[in-house]
C-alpha cells in the first residue's frame, strides 16, 4: 500500500492521531493484524485540539514530506 | 385518561365532545424512524404503550374496536413480547401499513392506509385517533447542556461519554445522565440508568479525595498574561481566573491569571494549543515532549 516511485523513494509522513478515535483505530488495525505503511509515523495526542500549528511546522522543518492530523 | 384520578375519572372519552369512542385507531412511529422528518431514531417506548392503550380500549369499552397501524412491532424487553401478544389476544387489531390520510366523516374520522400484509388498501372509520409521536428533547435542553458544559448528540439528546462503557457519564466530570434526556427510553430503562447514575455520584462522595487522570493542563503563572483566551476554548469549563499577588520593585502588584480545576479538566489540551504566551502545558503531553517526538520520528 505504500507510495513508491521508480527510484524507491517514499514520503515521510508524520501523523498526529487522536487517542480516542484515530489512534484507537490504528490500535484496532494492529489487533486485526492489518498492515499500514511504515512511512507513516504516528504521534498519539489526547485530542486533535492539542495540536499546536508549531508541531506541524516543526515536522516539515525536520524533513517530513507530509503531516496528517486526524481526530 | 384511564387513570382513575385523571381528568375523565378513568373513563376513555373523546377530548372534543366527551363521547365514549367505540372505535379507536392508534398510529405508531409518528415522526420517528423517518429521515424525511429529520428523526431517524426509534422512540422505543411507543410500541409497548400503544399495546397497553389498545388493550385498555378493548377491555374498558364493551364491544369496541382498537386498530393499531404499525411499521414493526418492537418488543425487546423482558416480558414485552408476551405483553404484546396479550394485547392482540384481547382483541387489538394490528394492521401493518403507514397511514396516508385521515379525514372527517360526520363526527367520525376515516383512516386511510394500506395493509401491506394483504397488499391492499384499507379504510376504517373510527371515533378517535391516537398518535404515538416521536420522543424529542425538551425545548431549551440544548441551552442547558451548553450552560452546564456537556454536549448533545445529532438528535439533540444529551451525549453520554461512551455508548457502551460510560452510558451514564458525560464528558464533563461530575455530571451524570439518567432517563429520556439521554435518548428515548421506557420506565424500566430510566430507573436502571438513574440507579447507576446515583451510585456513580455516591461513589464520588464516598471518598474525601478525588482520583483524577494525571494528564491535565497546568498553568505557568509567571507566563500567564491573563488574556482569558483559554476560558471559552475549554469544552469542560475547567479554566477560570484567579488573582495573583506578586512583588515588583518592592511593592505588591495584583493581576489575574488562569487556573485549572483539576477535577473538571479532562486533559484534551485544546487550551495549551491556544495559549499564546505558552503559559499552559499538558502533563504527559507537553510541548517539549511532542516536539521531541516529532524530531525523533523525522530522523
Ligand atoms: C404517551 C406515553 C406513554 C408512556 N407509557 C409508558 C409506559 O406505559 N411504560 C413505560 O415504561 N414507559 C412509558 N413511557 C415512557 C416514559 O414516560 C419515560 O420513559 C419516562 O417518563 C422517562 O423518565 P424521565 O425521568 O427520564 O423523564 P420525564 O418523566 O420526562 O421527567 C423529566 C422531568 O424533568 C422536568 N424538566 C425538564 N426540563 C427541566 C428544567 N430545565 N429544569 C427543571 N426540570 C425540568 C420535566 O418537567 C419532567 O418532570 C411513555 C411515554 C409516553 C410519551
Ligand atoms: S417504539 Fe415502535 S412505535 Fe415507537 S418509534 Fe419505535 S417502532 Fe415506532
B217-298 — its CATH code?
3.30.70.20
Return the axis-axis angle of helices B287-297 and A53-61, rounded to nearest 10°. 30
pLDDT at residue B217 above 60? yes
Q: Which residues make beta-bridge pairs with B257?
A: B242
Q: Does residue B132 line the site of ligand 2, with CB under 6 A?
A: yes
Per-residue confidence at B32, pLDDT binned at 50, 70, 90? very high
Percentage of the residues of chain A whose pLDDT score is greater than 70: 92
Mean pLDDT of B152-171: 93
Q: What residues of chain A lie within 8 A of the CB of B233, using their CB?
A: 49
Q: Which of A18-22, B116-120, B263-267 has the highest mean pLDDT?
A: B116-120
pLDDT at A4: 56
In this predicted structure, what is the pLDDT of residue A6? 63
A45 with B298: Cβ contact below 8 A: no
Report the residue of chain B nearest A43, measured CA to CA: B293
Asked whether the predicted pLDDT for residue B137 surpasses 90, the reply is yes
Instruction: Give the model's confidence band at A7: pLDDT under 50 very low, under 70 low, under 90 confident, else very high.
Output: confident
Task: Classify B226 as helix, strand or coil.
Answer: coil
User: How far apart, in whole angstroms, are the C-alpha atoms of residue B168 and residue B165?
Assistant: 9
Interface touch A41/B297, C-beta < 8 Å: yes
Own/partner pairs for B73-78, CB < 8 Å, 24+ apart? B73/B47, B74/B42, B74/B44, B74/B47, B75/B47, B75/B48, B77/B48, B77/B186, B77/B188
pLDDT of residue B46: 97
Within 238-267 of B, beta carbons closer than 8 Å to A belong to: 267
| Beta carbons of B290 and A55 less than 8 angstroms apart | yes
Are residues A19 and A48 in contact, defined by beta-carbon separation less than 8 angstroms? no
How far apart (Å, rounded) are the C-alpha atoms in residues B186 and B180? 8
* DSSP-assigned letter for residue B35: G
Size of interface A-B (CB pairs under 8 A): 60
Q: Which one has a higher pLDDT value, B94 or B237?
A: B94
The residue that leads in pLDDT, A38 or B56, is: B56
Q: Mean per-residue pLDDT for B199-206?
A: 94
The minimal CB distance from A46 to the residues B282, B297, B298 is found for B282
For chain B, the domains span: 23-133, 141-205, 217-298
pLDDT of residue A2: 56
Q: Under a CB-based contact definition with an 8 Å cutoff, are residues B23 and B125 in contact?
A: yes
pLDDT: which is higher, A2 or B209: B209
**pLDDT computed for residue A63 by the predictor:** 94
| Closest chain B residue by Cα to residue A60 | B298
**Closest residue on chain A to B235 (Cα):** A49
Q: Do A55 and B294 touch (CB under 8 A)?
A: yes
Is it the case that residue A66 has pLDDT exceeding 80? yes
CATH class of the structural domain B23-133:
alpha beta
Contacts of residue B270 in chain A, CB cutoff 8 Å? 47, 49-50
**pLDDT, position A3:** 56
Is B60 a pocket residue for ligand 2 (Cβ < 6 Å)? no
Tens digit of pLDDT for each residue in B240-291? 999 999 888 889 999 999 999 998 899 999 999 999 999 999 999 999 999 9
**How far A33 CA sits from the closest chain B CA (Å)?**
23
Closest CA to B298 of A15, A16, A59: A59
Q: Give residue for cell 421506557.
A: B186
Contact B21, B126 (CB under 8 A): yes
> What's the pLDDT at B88?
98
Contact state of B269 with A49 under an 8 Å Cβ cutoff: yes
Sheet-wide strand order for B23-30: B93-96, B65-70, B23-30, B128-133
pLDDT at A1 over 80: no
Cell numbers 394492521 label which residue?
A: B95
B 40-99 near A (Cβ less than 8 A) = none
Q: Provide CB contacts within 8 A for B135, sequence distance 6+.
A: B32, B43, B44, B45, B46, B180, B184
Amino acid at each position: 500500500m505504500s507510495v513508491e516511485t521508480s527510484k524507491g523513494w517514499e514520503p515521510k509522513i508524520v501523523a498526529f492521531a487522536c487517542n480516542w478515535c484515530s489512534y484507537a483505530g490504528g490500535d484496532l488495525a494492529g489487533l486485526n493484524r492489518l498492515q499500514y505503511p511504515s512511512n507513516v509515523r504516528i504521534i498519539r495526542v489526547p485530542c486533535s485540539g492539542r495540536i499546536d500549528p508549531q508541531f506541524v511546522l516543526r515536522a516539515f522543518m525536520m524533513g517530513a514530506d507530509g503531516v496528517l492530523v486526524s481526530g | 385518561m384511564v387513570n382513575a384520578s385523571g381528568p375523565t375519572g378513568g373513563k376513555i372519552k373523546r377530548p372534543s365532545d366527551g363521547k365514549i369512542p367505540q372505535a379507536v385507531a392508534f398510529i405508531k412511529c409518528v415522526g420517528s424512524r423517518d429521515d424525511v422528518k429529520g428523526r431517524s431514531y426509534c422512540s422505543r417506548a411507543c410500541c409497548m404503550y400503544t399495546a397497553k392503550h389498545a388493550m385498555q380500549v378493548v377491555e374498558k369499552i364493551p364491544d369496541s374496536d382498537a386498530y393499531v397501524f404499525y411499521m414493526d412491532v418492537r418488543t425487546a424487553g423482558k416480558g414485552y413480547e408476551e405483553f404484546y401478544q396479550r394485547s392482540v389476544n384481547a382483541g387489538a387489531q394490528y394492521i401493518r401499513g403507514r397511514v396516508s390520510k385521515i379525514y372527517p366523516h360526520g363526527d367520525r374520522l376515516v383512516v386511510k392506509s394500506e395493509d401491506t400484509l394483504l397488499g391492499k388498501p384499507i379504510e376504517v372509520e373510527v371515533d378517535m385517533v391516537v398518535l404515538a409521536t416521536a420522543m424529542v428533547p425538551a425545548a431549551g435542553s440544548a441551552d442547558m447542556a451548553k450552560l452546564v458544559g456537556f454536549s448533545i448528540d445529532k438528535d439533540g439528546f444529551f451525549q453520554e461519554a461512551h455508548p457502551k462503557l460510560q452510558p451514564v457519564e458525560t464528558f464533563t466530570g461530575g455530571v451524570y445522565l439518567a432517563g429520556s434526556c439521554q435518548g428515548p427510553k421506557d420506565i424500566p430503562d430510566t430507573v436502571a440508568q438513574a440507579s447507576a447514575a446515583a451510585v456513580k455520584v455516591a461513589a464520588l462522595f464516598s471518598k474525601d479525595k478525588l482520583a483524577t487522570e494525571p494528564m491535565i493542563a497546568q498553568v505557568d503563572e509567571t507566563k500567564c498574561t491573563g488574556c482569558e483566551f483559554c476560558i471559552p476554548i475549554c469544552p469542560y469549563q475547567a479554566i477560570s481566573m484567579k488573582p495573583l499577588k506578586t512583588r515588583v520593585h518592592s511593592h505588591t502588584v495584583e493581576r489575574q491569571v488562569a487556573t485549572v480545576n483539576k477535577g473538571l479538566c479532562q486533559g484534551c489540551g485544546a487550551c495549551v494549543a491556544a495559549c499564546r504566551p505558552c503559559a499552559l502545558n499538558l502533563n504527559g503531553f507537553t510541548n517539549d515532549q511532542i516536539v521531541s517526538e516529532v524530531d525523533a520520528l523525522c530522523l
